[in-house]
């Protein structure tokens, strides 16, 4: 369960009681009372649901009914959830501890009678502290109720969650729901949808709209929307992600060196730079040799990072990149994490 800015990880105190409220105090709306714009209602048995290759927005065991999105998914619909997972990975690296994303995995409510079960399929689910909360699975479903994702994302490209799924998430106790309407619209998009991201925070059993995230303190709705609609994270977005990661890490006493992948690469770079600097310092001067060794170690680290991500690089890369020699280790690591090609790295480091 996501906490306030002063609390992270598993719910406690008021937050734990808040998580239990919807089951005890709020009546769960019946799907027949709700509307699902952009979806077709079709009969679907349990066996058919398990075999279904396309995920429904909602499946109701009681009525054996599924609400299927009318149009096939497009890149405009899929990009925000993919971008959120990528950005969460960068925040996690800067913080120094993992963040888990489960994509469109179906959600069910804990202790709900199997015959009356509802399955909701979001576009992305995010756990900020996966090692601190007890995550329950009923293959292929993720169970909520004892613990919750810190953020659930819904993308309204040809659909509108407001008259249907929003009420269900609220009654289930999901603490923070993001609803993203991509910049690039579809012909069938409901006219009432305006591009942008809306953050719904659950307080006193009900959602209220907030300009800023509670799970990622300081991350504003307009910044999240801008980042989700970029082809790749911009320098501005990267600076925001690094700030978020370091802010979250400062609470917990962690940082980039607590990320095992970055720690290994940075440690190797430092060791190589130190050794080569000492060796070259005997003939070319200790200061100049040490600096050269550090730059060569940093170059090797960047090559390894890109190759480990499946990005091909040229033989002289990154030694021949203008501006690379003057960049800091933090700048080099950040650029290697954010880029999607050698050319993109060259453009960013300049």
pLDDT in tens, 101-136: 999 999 999 877 787 899 999 999 999 999 887 778
pLDDT band at 263 (very low <50, low <70, confident <90, very high): low
Tell whether the model's pLDDT for residue 148 goes beyond 60: yes
Q: Which residues of 33-63 are buried (b: 16+ CB within 10 A; e: fewer)?
A: eeebbbbebeebeeeebeeeeebbbbbbbee
4: left (phi over 0), alpha (psi -120 to 50) or beta: beta
pLDDT reported for residue 272:
64
pLDDT digits (tens, 9 = 90+) for 205-248: 999 999 999 999 999 999 999 999 998 889 999 999 999 999 99
Question: Does residue 75 contact residue 182 with C-beta atoms inside 8 Å?
Answer: no
- Judged by DSSP in three states, 98 sits in coil
* Separation between Cα atoms, residue 192 and residue 205, nearest integer Å: 26
Range scoring the smallest mean pLDDT among 75-79, 91-95, 345-349:
345-349
Q: What is the mean pLDDT of the chain?
A: 84
pLDDT reported for residue 264:
67
pLDDT band at 337 (very low <50, low <70, confident <90, very high): confident
pLDDT reported for residue 276:
60
Residue whose token pair is 């009432």? 192
pLDDT reported for residue 11:
38
What backbone torsions phi and psi does residue 154 show, to the nearest 5 degrees? -120, 135
Domains and CATH numbers, the chain: 14-252 (3.90.1570.10), 259-349 (no CATH)
Instruction: Kindly state the tokens that stand for 271.
Output: 């060791």
* Separation between Cα atoms, residue 246 and residue 241, nearest integer Å: 9
pLDDT digits (tens, 9 = 90+) for 167-206: 999 999 999 999 999 998 888 888 889 999 999 999 999 9
pLDDT reported for residue 3:
38
Tell whether the model's pLDDT for residue 269 goes beyond 80: no
Instruction: Kindly state the tokens that stand for 45.
Output: 């048995």
Query: Would you give the DSSP letter of residue 146?
Result: S
């Amino acid at each position: 369960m996501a906490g306030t800015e002063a609390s992270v990880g598993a719910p406690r105190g008021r937050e734990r009681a808040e998580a239990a409220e919807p089951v005890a105090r709020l009546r769960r709306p019946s799907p027949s009372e709700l509307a699902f714009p952009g979806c077709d209602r079709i009969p679907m048995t349990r066996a058919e649901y398990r075999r279904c290759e396309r995920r429904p927005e909602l499946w109701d065991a009681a009525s054996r009914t599924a609400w299927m999105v009318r149009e096939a998914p497009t890149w405009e619909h899929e990009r925000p959830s993919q971008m959120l997972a990528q950005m969460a990975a960068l925040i996690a690296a800067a913080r120094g501890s993992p963040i888990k994303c489960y994509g469109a995995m179906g959600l069910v409510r804990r202790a709900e009678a199997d015959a009356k079960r509802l399955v909701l399929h979001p576009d992305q689910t995010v756990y900020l502290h996966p090692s601190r909360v007890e995550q329950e699975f009923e293959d292929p479903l993720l169970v909520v109720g004892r613990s919750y994702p810190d953020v659930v994302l819904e993308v309204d490209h040809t659909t509108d969650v407001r008259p249907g799924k929003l009420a269900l998430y609220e009654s289930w106790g999901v603490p923070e729901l993001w609803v993203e309407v991509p910049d690039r619209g579809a012909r069938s998009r409901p006219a009432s949808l305006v591009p942008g991201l809306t953050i719904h925070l659950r307080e006193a059993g009900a959602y209220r709209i907030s300009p800023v995230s509670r799970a990622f303190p300081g991350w504003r709705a307009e910044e999240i929307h801008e980042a989700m609609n970029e082809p790749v994270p911009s320098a501005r977005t990267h600076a925001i992600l690094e700030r978020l990661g370091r802010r979250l890490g400062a609470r917990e006493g962690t940082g980039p060196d607590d990320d095992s992948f970055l720690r290994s690469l940075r440690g190797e770079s430092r060791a190589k730079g130190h050794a080569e600097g000492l060796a070259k310092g005997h003939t070319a001067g200790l200061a100049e040799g040490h600096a050269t060794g550090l730059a060569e170690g940093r170059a090797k680290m960047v090559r390894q990072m890109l190759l480990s991500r499946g990005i091909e690089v040229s033989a002289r890369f990154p030694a021949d990149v203008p501006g690379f020699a003057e960049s800091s280790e933090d700048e080099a690591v950040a650029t290697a994490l954010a880029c999607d090609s050698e050319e993109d790295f060259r453009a960013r480091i300049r």
